[in-house]
Amino acid sequence: MASTIYDIAAKAGVSIATVSRVFNQSTNVSQKTRNKVLKVAESVGYHPQAYAQGLASKKLNTIMAVVPIISNYFFMEILGGIQDKLTKLGYDLSIFNVTGAGDVFFEQVEHVIRRRAAEGYLFISIHLHPDQWDKLQKYPVSITLVDEFYEGFDSVSVDNVQGAYTATKTFLDAGYKKVGMISALETSKPIKDRIKGYKLAFEDSGHIFDSSLIISGDTDYRDGFTERGGYTAMQRMNKVHPTLDACFCSSDIQAVGALKAMEDLDISIPLIGYDDIEISEYIGLSTVRQPMRDMGYIATQTLIERMNNEEKAISQTMYSPKLILRKSTNGIV
Amino acid sequence: MASTIYDIAAKAGVSIATVSRVFNQSTNVSQKTRNKVLKVAESVGYHPQAYAQGLASKKLNTIMAVVPIISNYFFMEILGGIQDKLTKLGYDLSIFNVTGAGDVFFEQVEHVIRRRAAEGYLFISIHLHPDQWDKLQKYPVSITLVDEFYEGFDSVSVDNVQGAYTATKTFLDAGYKKVGMISALETSKPIKDRIKGYKLAFEDSGHIFDSSLIISGDTDYRDGFTERGGYTAMQRMNKVHPTLDACFCSSDIQAVGALKAMEDLDISIPLIGYDDIEISEYIGLSTVRQPMRDMGYIATQTLIERMNNEEKAISQTMYSPKLILRKSTNGIV
DNA sequence: CTGAAAGCGCTTACAG
DNA sequence: CTGAAAGCGCTTACAG
Asked if A79's CB is within 8 angstroms of B71's CB, the reply is yes
Average pLDDT (B311-324) is 95
Instruction: Tell me the pLDDT tens digit for each residue of B163-177.
Output: 999 999 999 999 999
User: What is the distance of C-alpha B82 from the center of its chain?
Assistant: 9
How high does pLDDT run on average in chain A?
Answer: 93
Strand partners of residue B121: B64, B143
Average pLDDT (B86-96) is 87
**Which pLDDT band, with edges at 50, 70 and 90, does A3 fall under?**
confident
Q: Is the pLDDT of residue B27 over 80?
A: no
Q: Considering the domain B5-48 in this protein, what is its CATH number? A: 1.10.260.40
pLDDT at B263: 96
Asked if B71's CB is within 8 angstroms of A117's CB, the reply is no
pLDDT at B290: 95
Instruction: Tell me the pLDDT tens digit for each residue of B227-274.
Output: 999 999 999 999 999 999 999 999 999 999 999 999 999 999 999 999
pLDDT at B211: 95
Q: Specify whether the CB–CB gap between B186 and B215 falls below 8 A.
A: no
Query: Which residue ranges make up each domain of chain B?
Result: 5-48, 62-158+292-319, 160-291+323-329
Q: Suggest the residue from B38, B97, B106, B249 to mutate for an interface test with chain A (most A CBs closer than 10 A).
A: B97
Q: Specify whether the CB–CB gap between B22 and B29 falls below 8 A.
A: yes
Q: Tell me what percent of the residues of chain A surpass a pLDDT of 90.
A: 74
In 3D space, the residue among A173, A162, A247 whose CA is nearest the CA of residue A200 turns out to be A162
Instruction: Round to a whole number and report the distance in Å from the CA of B39 to the C1' of C2.
Output: 19
Asked if A278's CB is within 8 angstroms of B227's CB, the reply is yes
Q: Tell me the residue length of chain A.
A: 333
**Which pLDDT band, with edges at 50, 70 and 90, does B333 fall under?**
low
Beginning with the edge strand found earlier in the chain, give each strand of the sheet holding A322-324 in spatial order: A214-216, A179-183, A246-249, A271-275, A286-289, A322-324
Contact residues, chain A, for B116 at CB < 8 Å: 2, 49-51
In 3D space, the residue among B208, B330, B328 whose CA is nearest the CA of residue B273 turns out to be B328
Sequence-distant (≥ 6) Cβ neighbours of residue B113 within 8 angstroms: B121, B136, B139, B141, B143
Average pLDDT (B282-293) is 96
Which bases of strand C have any atom within 7 Å of the beta carbon of a protein residue? 1-5, 7-13
Q: Is the pLDDT of residue B205 over 80?
A: yes
Asked if A139's CB is within 8 angstroms of B45's CB, the reply is yes
Q: Specify whether the CB–CB gap between A119 and A86 falls below 8 A.
A: no
User: What does DSSP say about strands A246-249 and B92-97: parallel, antiparallel, or unpaired?
Assistant: unpaired
Alpha helices in chain B (DSSP H): 5-12, 16-23, 31-44, 50-57, 73-89, 102-114, 130-137, 160-173, 189-204, 227-240, 252-265, 278-283, 292-308
B50 touches strand C (CB under 7 A): no
**B311 or B161, greater pLDDT:** B161
Strand partners of residue A271: A247
Instruction: Measure the CA–CA gap between A284 and B168, rounded to whole angstroms.
Output: 28
Average pLDDT (B306-319) is 93
Identify protein residues whose C-beta is within 7 angstroms of any atom in strand D.
A 13-18, 21, 27-30, 32-34, 55-56, 58; B 2, 4-6, 16-17, 20-21, 23-24, 46, 48-49, 52-53, 55-57, 59
User: What is the distance of C-alpha B81 from the center of its chain?
Assistant: 10
Q: Does A42 contact chain B (CB < 8 Å)?
A: no
Contact residues, chain B, for A273 at CB < 8 Å: none
Smallest CA–C1' separation from B3, nucleotide: D9
Q: Does A107 contact chain B (CB < 8 Å)?
A: no
Q: Is the pLDDT of residue A7 over 80?
A: yes
**Which pLDDT band, with edges at 50, 70 and 90, does A333 fall under?**
low
In 3D space, the residue among A66, A163, A182, A156 whose CA is nearest the CA of residue B93 turns out to be A66
How high does pLDDT run on average in chain B?
Answer: 93
Poorest-confidence range of A108-117, A175-184, A324-333? A324-333
User: What does DSSP say about strands A92-97 and B92-97: parallel, antiparallel, or unpaired?
Assistant: antiparallel
B72 → chain A, closest CA residue: A76
Asked if B77's CB is within 8 angstroms of A71's CB, the reply is yes
Average pLDDT (B105-116) is 92
Contact residues, chain A, for B140 at CB < 8 Å: 1-2
Helix H or strand E encompassing A22: helix A16-23
Asked if A139's CB is within 8 angstroms of B282's CB, the reply is no
A333 CB neighbour count, 10 Å cutoff: 12
Which residue among B55, B73, B139 places its CB closest to the CB of A55? B55
CATH class of A62-158+292-319: alpha beta
Helix H or strand E encompassing A12: helix A5-12
Q: Give residue A92's identity as a one-letter amino acid code.
A: D
The reply to whether B160-291+323-329 shares the fold of B62-158+292-319 is yes
Q: Does A79 contact chain B (CB < 8 Å)?
A: yes
Q: Does A70 contact chain B (CB < 8 Å)?
A: yes
Instruction: Tell me the pLDDT tens digit for each residue of A227-243.
Output: 999 999 999 999 999 99
Instruction: Tell me the pLDDT tens digit for each residue of A155-169.
Output: 999 999 999 999 999
Q: Which CATH code of 3.40.50.2000, 3.40.190.10, 3.40.50.2300, 3.40.1390.10 fits the domain covering B160-291+323-329?
A: 3.40.50.2300
pLDDT at A1: 59
A44 touches strand C (CB under 7 A): no
Q: Tell me what percent of the residues of chain B surpass a pLDDT of 90.
A: 74
- In angstroms, what CA-CA distances link B205 with B175, B208, B287? 10, 9, 21
Torsion of CA B217, B96, B116, A13, to 10 degrees: 70
Contact residues, chain B, for A265 at CB < 8 Å: none
Phi, psi values for residue A157, rounded to 5°: -145, 180
Contact residues, chain A, for B115 at CB < 8 Å: 47-50
